């Protein structure tokens, strides 16, 4: 989905956010949120969440991943983290769960938020993390070209990726998708950041990433877990609920970061 995505009026989204019982942020140490998109998307997949976070006083950065390799996506995310003044909550959707599992080892990162994501262990690739789980319907709707770049079919976008969005938004998601290099799937991370960073996980009624993998990963990392009646991209269909989880992470991980002395370390990094 492209930066050109047309979204609902921001004023109405801010009203939704204001009416949702989100955690007060006055005491939190984390003011920076870095949002990382996954396959077939770009930073505008968070377009409905960003104003809700900014309305609470957060500095928000949406990474524009190249989708050319895991290493390239991690590098883009690390550059975004480096630009932040102070500690960061790092958020990853779908395949970006792999990206934040690697990039989240940065000392500036105070907490991790996984959204319908793949979350590998040490030395694992996406394929390793997904091994043994039943294939999802969306898997067969991802087709490679001659160069090995994957795109999502219109059927996959409508029925598996964002079926709970209005027709006009589903069309934009399909029409503005980014090509995703299939080599990403076999690239391995080094050390899983969730082993040392507090984590949050949003699990959905997924037709792209196996929900069983999401539940297993969330339990393994002892994540604070939220289950939404949403399709694969809850940032677009349930933005207020997603924002609430991110704000909870900023509050709780931020306080823990200060107590552990991580704030001064991150600020001086």
The answer as to whether 67 is a domain residue is: yes
Q: Give residue-wise pLDDT tens across range 246-257.
A: 999 999 996 665
**Average per-residue pLDDT for the chain:** 89
Residues whose CB falls within 8 Å of the CB of residue 238, separated by 6 or more in sequence, listed in order: 228, 230
How many residues are listed for the chain in this entry? Answer: 269
Total domains, the chain = 1
Query: What SS3 state is found at 142?
Result: strand
The answer as to whether 189 is a domain residue is: yes
The answer as to whether 141 is a domain residue is: no
pLDDT at 267: 37
The answer as to whether 220 is a domain residue is: yes
The answer as to whether 120 is a domain residue is: yes
pLDDT at 25: 41
- Phi/psi for 32 (5° steps) reads -110, 130
Q: Give residue-wise pLDDT tens across range 103-117.
A: 999 999 999 999 999
Q: What is the mean pLDDT of residues 82-93?
A: 97
pLDDT at 4: 39
The CATH number given to whatever domain includes residue 67 is: 3.40.50.1820
Of residues 175 and 265, more confidence is placed in 175
Show the domain range for 218.
29-133+184-267
Of 102, 97, 78, which Cα lies nearest the Cα of 88?
Answer: 78
Of 29, 187, 223, 218, which Cα lies nearest the Cα of 102?
Answer: 187
The answer as to whether 48 is a domain residue is: yes
pLDDT at 228: 98
The answer as to whether 114 is a domain residue is: yes
Beta-strand ranges (E) seen in 153-198 are 180-181
| 7 contacts 47 by C-beta, under 8 angstroms | yes
The answer as to whether 69 is a domain residue is: yes
Q: Give residue-wise pLDDT tens across range 35-52.
A: 999 999 999 999 999 999
Of 259, 191, 266, 207, which Cα lies nearest the Cα of 34?
Answer: 266
């Amino acid at each position: 989905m492209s930066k050109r995505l047309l979204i609902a009026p921001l004023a109405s989204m801010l009203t939704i956010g204001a009416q949702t019982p989100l955690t007060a942020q006055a005491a939190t140490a984390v003011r920076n949120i870095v949002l990382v998109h996954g396959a077939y998307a770009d930073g505008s997949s968070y377009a409905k969440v960003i104003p809700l976070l900014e309305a609470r006083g957060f500095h928000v950065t949406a990474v524009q991943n190249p989708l050319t390799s895991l290493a390239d996506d991690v590098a883009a995310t690390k550059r975004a983290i480096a630009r932040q003044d102070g500690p960061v909550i790092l958020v990853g959707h779908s395949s970006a769960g792999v990206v934040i599992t690697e990039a989240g080892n940065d000392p500036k990162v105070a907490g991790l938020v996984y959204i319908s994501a793949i979350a590998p262990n040490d030395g694992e690739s996406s394929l390793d993390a997904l091994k043994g789980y039943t294939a999802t319907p969306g898997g067969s709707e991802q087709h490679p070209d001659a160069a090995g770049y994957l795109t999502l079919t219109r059927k996959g976008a409508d029925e598996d990726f964002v079926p709970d969005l209005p027709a006009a938004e589903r069309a934009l998601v399909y029409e503005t998708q980014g090509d995703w290099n299939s080599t990403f799937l076999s690239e391995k991370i080094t050390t899983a950041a969730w082993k040392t960073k507090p984590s949050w996980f949003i699990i959905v009624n997924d037709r792209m990433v196996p929900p069983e993998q999401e539940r297993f990963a969330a339990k393994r990392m002892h994540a604070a877990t939220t289950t939404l009646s949403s399709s694969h991209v809850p940032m677009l269909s349930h933005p207020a609920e997603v924002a609430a989880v991110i704000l909870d992470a900023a509050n709780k991980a931020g306080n823990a970061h200060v107590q552990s002395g991580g704030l001064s370390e991150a600020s001086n990094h």
